[in-house]
């Protein structure tokens, strides 16, 4: 599985590297939706700011939406800090009195944690210097996905958790693992998308949850509980990987906005990933196979499997993520 990834977020790099256009309408709709209905933090910072400085009217509208969304998010975080600071001061007063209470102790702890979390988010929002994590996504985050429309490569922002055809929000809550599509289930579970709706996500770092004892290639000691660690995998030599994806379009119902969503295709991992303790990994495709993957022939699924098998084979260095 791919728990998290550091992706190519900046549209202009897609433009330069792949000659891709942009679905500007979808970007505007998505940014407007997340600004008004919540979920602004689901848009990676690098993706939000990839249209600055704007070059045309569409990018100017996006830049304006981002500025307004960032400002509103900052105001919400400032209110959270003020509210929790008042809660903290009240709790401290009770704890300093002759009758401290468990509720005051809990309020003091919770308020302190919330203040620190909100301040970190506020500092990150206001930070001007780019950082690698600005492009990091998790299930539920949005990422640029390159697809084919009218025989042209186009970048569309999509949610990293695929809502399969016919599903609604309730169905996907029952099956939250649809951010990855197993290669051995492509025809069984993903048949409405495999051979029909293909895309690529461009990533250069991958993150996986791994059990510490598996990473250390040992059995659990008697009485030892499994401990999770997050490993960072980087391809050597360093490179942008074209991660094979499937995508879906779900029209909005009952007041919901339209949703584009995707899943990364996964397979058995290379030996060095197995040795690090993980049992699934995404599939990168070769640049020369890009258009054939993006324009699938549903009557020739074997050709698509051949593309997945004819994958680049970098060596994946790993370390415990910071």
State the first-to-last Cα distance of the chain, in angstroms, to the nearest integer: 20
Sign of torsion over alpha carbons 287, 291, 294, 297: negative
Which residues sit opposite 230 in a β-bridge? Answer: 209
Q: Is the pLDDT of residue 314 over 90?
A: yes
pLDDT of residue 10: 80
Phi/psi at 147 (nearest 5 deg)? -130, 180
Tell me how far apart the alpha carbons of residues 26 and 46 are, in angstroms, rounded to a whole number: 17
Q: What percent of the chain has pLDDT over 70?
A: 99
pLDDT of residue 219: 92
Pick the more confident residue, 159 or 58: 159
Q: Is the pLDDT of residue 2 over 70?
A: no
Q: Is the pLDDT of residue 322 over 80?
A: no
Q: Is the pLDDT of residue 70 over 70?
A: yes
CA atoms within 13 A on the CB side of 77: 20
- Of 219, 239, 240, 214, nearest to 229 (Cα)? 214
Q: For the chain, give every domain's residue range.
A: 4-22+132-320
Tell me how far apart the alpha carbons of residues 112 and 106 are, in angstroms, rounded to a whole number: 10
pLDDT of residue 33: 92
Tell me how far apart the alpha carbons of residues 55 and 303 are, in angstroms, rounded to a whole number: 40
Stretch 96-116: mean pLDDT: 96
pLDDT digits (tens, 9 = 90+) for 174-201: 999 999 999 999 999 999 999 999 999 9
pLDDT of residue 273: 95
- Give this prediction's pTM: 0.90
Reported as a pLDDT band with limits 50, 70 and 90, residue 141 is very high
Tell me how far apart the alpha carbons of residues 42 and 170 are, in angstroms, rounded to a whole number: 19
- Of 302, 299, 307, 288, nearest to 245 (Cα)? 307
The secondary element (H helix, E strand) that includes residue 157 is strand 152-160
pLDDT digits (tens, 9 = 90+) for 247-279: 999 998 776 788 999 999 999 999 999 999 999
Stretch 68-95: mean pLDDT: 96
Stretch 32-38: mean pLDDT: 90
- Of 250, 243, 285, 280, nearest to 264 (Cα)? 243
Phi/psi at 281 (nearest 5 deg)? -160, 150
- Of 266, 240, 194, 195, nearest to 18 (Cα)? 240
Q: Is the pLDDT of residue 15 over 80?
A: yes
Stretch 133-152: mean pLDDT: 94
pLDDT of residue 253: 74
Q: Is the pLDDT of residue 234 over 80?
A: yes
Tell me the three state secondary structure of residue 163: coil
The pairing of beta strand 21-22 with beta strand 152-160 = parallel
CATH number for the domain whose boundaries are 4-22+132-320: 3.90.1680.10
pLDDT of residue 44: 94
Give the other-Cβ count within 10 Å of 125's Cβ: 16
Tell me how far apart the alpha carbons of residues 80 and 73 are, in angstroms, rounded to a whole number: 11
pLDDT of residue 170: 87
pLDDT of residue 247: 98
pLDDT of residue 1: 54
Extended beta strands in 161-302, E state: 180-182, 198-211, 228-236, 241-250, 259-267, 281-282, 284-285
pLDDT digits (tens, 9 = 90+) for 149-158: 999 999 999 9
Q: What percent of the chain has pLDDT over 90?
A: 83
- Structure letter (DSSP) for residue 8: -
Reported as a pLDDT band with limits 50, 70 and 90, residue 106 is very high
pLDDT of residue 120: 96
pLDDT of residue 169: 86
The residue with tokens 């958790």 is: 161
Average pLDDT along the chain? 93
């Amino acid at each position: 599985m791919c728990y998290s990834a550091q992706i190519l977020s900046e549209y202009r790099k897609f433009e330069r590297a792949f000659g891709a256009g942009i679905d500007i309408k979808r970007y505007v709709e998505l940014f407007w939706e997340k600004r008004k209905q919540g979920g602004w933090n689901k848009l990676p910072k690098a993706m939000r700011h990839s249209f600055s400085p704007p070059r045309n009217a569409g990018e100017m509208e996006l830049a304006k939406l981002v500025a307004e969304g960032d400002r509103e998010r900052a105001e919400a975080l400032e209110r959270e800090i003020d509210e929790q600071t008042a809660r903290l001061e009240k709790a401290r007063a009770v704890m300093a009195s002759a009758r401290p209470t468990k509720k005051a102790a809990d309020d003091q702890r919770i308020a302190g944690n919330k203040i620190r979390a909100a301040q970190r988010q506020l500092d990150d929002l206001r930070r001007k210097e780019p950082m690698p994590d600005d492009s990091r996504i998790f299930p539920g985050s949005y990422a640029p996905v390159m697809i084919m429309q009218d025989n042209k490569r186009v970048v569309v922002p999509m949610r990293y958790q695929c809502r399969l055809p016919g599903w609604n929000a309730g169905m996907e809550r029952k099956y939250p693992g649809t951010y990855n599509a197993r290669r051995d289930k492509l025809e069984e579970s993903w048949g409405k998308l495999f051979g029909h709706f293909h895309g690529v996500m461009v990533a250069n770092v991958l993150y996986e949850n791994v059990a510490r004892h598996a990473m250390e290639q040992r059995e659990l000691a008697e009485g030892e509980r499994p401990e999770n660690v997050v490993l960072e995998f980087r391809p050597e030599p360093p490179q942008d990987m074209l991660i094979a994806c499937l995508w879906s379009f779900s029209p909005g119902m009952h007041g919901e906005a339209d949703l584009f969503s995707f899943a990364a295709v996964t397979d058995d991992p290379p030996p060095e990933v197995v040795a690090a303790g993980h049992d699934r990994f995404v599939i990168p495709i070769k640049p020369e196979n890009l258009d054939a993957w993006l324009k699938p022939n549903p009557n020739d699924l074997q050709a698509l499997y051949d593309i997945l098998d004819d994958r680049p084979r970098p060596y994946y260095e790993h370390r415990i993520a910071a």
